[in-house]
Amino acid sequence: MEILQPFMEHSLLILITTFLVYQVTLVVYRLYFSPLAKFPGPKLAAASLWYNGTGSSKRKFLEEEKDCLIVVSLQEMRYEFYYDVWRDGKFTFKIRELHKVYGPIIRISPHQLHVYDPAFYEELYSQHKVRHKYAYFLDRFQLPGSAFGSVDHKLHRERRAALNKYLSKQTIKKLEPMLLDMLDKLCRRIEEFKEKGEKLDMRVVYQCFITDVITLVRLLAFYCYTATNLPFGSDYELDSSKKHKLPHETNRHTQYALNRSWNHLDSPNFSPLWVETIAETVKLGHLLTQFPILLPISLGLPRWFLKITKPGFAMLMDFRKAIEVDTQNILDGNYKFDPDKGNGIEGTIVHAILESDEIPPSEKEFQRLFEEAFVLIGAGSDTVSNMLTNTHFHLLDNPQHLKTLRDELKSVMQDRYARACLKDLEGLPFLNAVTNEGLRLSYGVSTRLPRISPYEVMMYKDWEIPAGTPVSMTSVHMHQNPDIFPDPLTFNPYRWLTTSCPTNNSSTTAPLQTLTPDKTLEKYLVAFGKGSRSCAGINLAKTEILLTLATIFRRYEVQELVETERRDVEVKRDLFLPFPEVGRGGVRVRYG
């Protein structure tokens, strides 16, 4: 014991010294000996996950933004944390600035690389090569049971295979009559506001509409179920009996005798709280990436407390509980397919997974099914509604484009109250060009999406990227690249068109009937991602978009933007999904 006495007396000093030596050694390794040390980028980002100030605590980081000088202490603050959490989703834009300084491939952390080169996108997000996701990036979602949340390439492929048939073009085509019914319902609600001369926030309208569609078309809906027609958002309680209860169960009535929609469209003012719920959830993403423990803590708080302090987050709890209840009822056999009813699609997405031969029984347990359903509903509603909202603005803000679109729609919808036909719409060049341009300026997911080649070195020009390195690219960078899309912030559907007119080679002035699709740029359109990990719901999303745009802009010839500017739809914050600057957002329209 006497031998240890000096060490015990100075144990704190020894621990501090050991820690400092470790930190210095780690920084030296990362800067000079790491496999990524050869890649350009800011040294502070390469040295540590924490952007530590050096010297005194008064050391400041100066950055000029617009006309303001922001003085920010970076003492003990994470590099990524600073831009994404403290600066509210600015890291994506900082990365673009770093590329201007350091070149097309840079090191953005001790472990990650980022590439700014559209030509590399299909290599990184390959259809045929093994690509893992980055576990650190997925921490914000905490949905490892879903295909989206699967790190391993092989596991993702198996889980995706169980979904592919249900989300195929052939299956989605069968949903067309139901989608048109929902559009008729949406138009009836618009008529109510039109008659009163009241404005509508189309961000709220489209969010509610798409959510109702997704739940109705059995991404989590069910056959032979008598459902409530009251708006979603009440408390969901699990009953002690085998059959679980849903809200307002004693007051419900049959809707189609087929499906249960969440019926946000039935809310008198639609459901602004639902939009807030999605926004609040998304805004937590960057914080949860840094501190994933916060999500289970938040979900463990009493609902009454959240309802007072964060109503949107309380509704998120209802959202999760609703999906849990539905999933458990399917597992219990309470919702079964009736072949005499419906539109020929057997069961729900959960049924499709349960009946799949592509995955083992361990992949058909409650928690995994719940997470898959949660992702399909949550991910499918916001991205599509954001695209519809932004496109709605740009069409009203560009009357000539809107006139051209309406002229084209008249060729297949002579009566403005006629129902759209998907097959006809798919053959309209200008409508599809508007769709592509709307997707380009809505971005899908705005944040970088890391991929890992676990076994093979990736090559970017002369750079060898070591196997196992997370590498990412960003849709905002792709879609705003002026070398690919000249004048990238301008809404210009004609960039997706060419003309067969022998006397006029300009698509912008050529007769409408001579326009044909120009697919040259489509490989750079990445709103749905690319490769084996691209969006599973792309077919449903495109169907929703075409039918909705055609219906709304053919039926309502008088629409006026109210209290809405371009900056309400411009991406200024990356919160996983694109957001405008603080205090902006929404597209307010008055119908006449």
Give the pLDDT mean for 417-428.
95
* Amino acid identity at 270: F
Token pair of 231 as six digits? 């708006």
Q: Residue 247: is its pLDDT beyond 80?
A: no
Alpha-carbon distance 452 to 134, whole Å? 7
The reply to whether 141 falls in a domain is no
- Is 80 exceeded by the pLDDT of residue 342? no
Which of 87, 119, 134 finishes a domain?
134
Q: How confident is the model at residue 335 (pLDDT cuts 50, 70, 90)?
A: low
Q: Is there a domain that residue 144 lies in?
A: no
Q: What average pLDDT does the segment 163-177 reach?
A: 87
Q: Are residues 339 and 421 in the same domain?
A: yes
CATH number of the domain enclosing 361: 1.10.630.10
Residue 421 in marked binding region: no
Q: Is residue 202 located within the same domain as residue 90?
A: no
Looking at mean pLDDT, say which of 72-76, 371-375, 444-448 comes out highest: 444-448
Same domain, 92 and 235: no
Q: Per the structure, how many domains does the chain have? A: 2
Average pLDDT of span 128-150: 92
User: Over the stretch 174-197, which tens digit does the pLDDT of each residue have?
Assistant: 889 989 999 999 999 999 999 999
**Higher-pLDDT residue of 242, 300:** 300
User: What percentage of the chain has pLDDT greater than the value 70?
Assistant: 81
**Residue 150 forms part of a structural domain:** no
At 304, is the pLDDT very low, low, confident or very high (cuts 50, 70, 90)? confident
List the domain range (segments joined by +) for residue 192. 162-591
Residues 124 and 187 in one domain: no
Structure confidence by residue, pLDDT tens digits, 474-508: 999 999 999 999 999 999 999 999 987 665 556 66
Section 78-99 average pLDDT:
87
Domain contains 146: no
Q: What pLDDT was estimated at residue 122?
A: 96
| Mean residue pLDDT across the chain | 82
Asked whether residue 142 is domain-assigned, the answer is: no
553-570 residue pLDDT tens: 999 999 999 999 999 999
Residue 503 has a pLDDT of 57
What's the rounded mean pLDDT across residues 238-252?
Answer: 34
Is the same domain home to 130 and 192?
no
Identify which of 277-291, 322-336, 370-384, 441-455 has the greatest average pLDDT: 441-455
Q: Is 136 exposed, middle or buried (0-12, 13-18, 19+ CB in 10 A)?
A: middle
Q: State the average pLDDT over residues 314-331.
A: 83
Look up the pTM and report it: 0.85
Do residue 458 and residue 587 come from a single domain? yes
In a domain, 214, yes or no: yes
Q: Tell whether 510 is covered by a domain.
A: yes
Asked if residue 178 and residue 103 are part of one domain, the reply reads no
pLDDT at 244: 39
* 129 and 168, same domain (yes or no): no
Sign for the pseudo-dihedral over CA of 339, 343, 347, 353? positive
Distances (CA, A) of 133 to 39, 157, 226, 329: 21, 12, 40, 32
Three-class SS of residue 393? helix
Q: Which residue has the higher pLDDT, 212 or 228?
A: 212
Q: Which residues contact 333 (CB under 8 A, 6 or more apart)?
A: none
Residues 99 and 194 in one domain: no
Do 210 and 335 lie in a common domain?
A: yes
Contact of 125 with 529, CB cutoff 8 Å: yes
Same structural domain, 232 and 129? no
Same domain, 171 and 88: no
| pLDDT, mean of residues 371-387 | 88
Domain annotation covers residue 155: no
Average pLDDT over residues 31-54: 74
Residues 6+ apart with CB under 8 A from 302: none
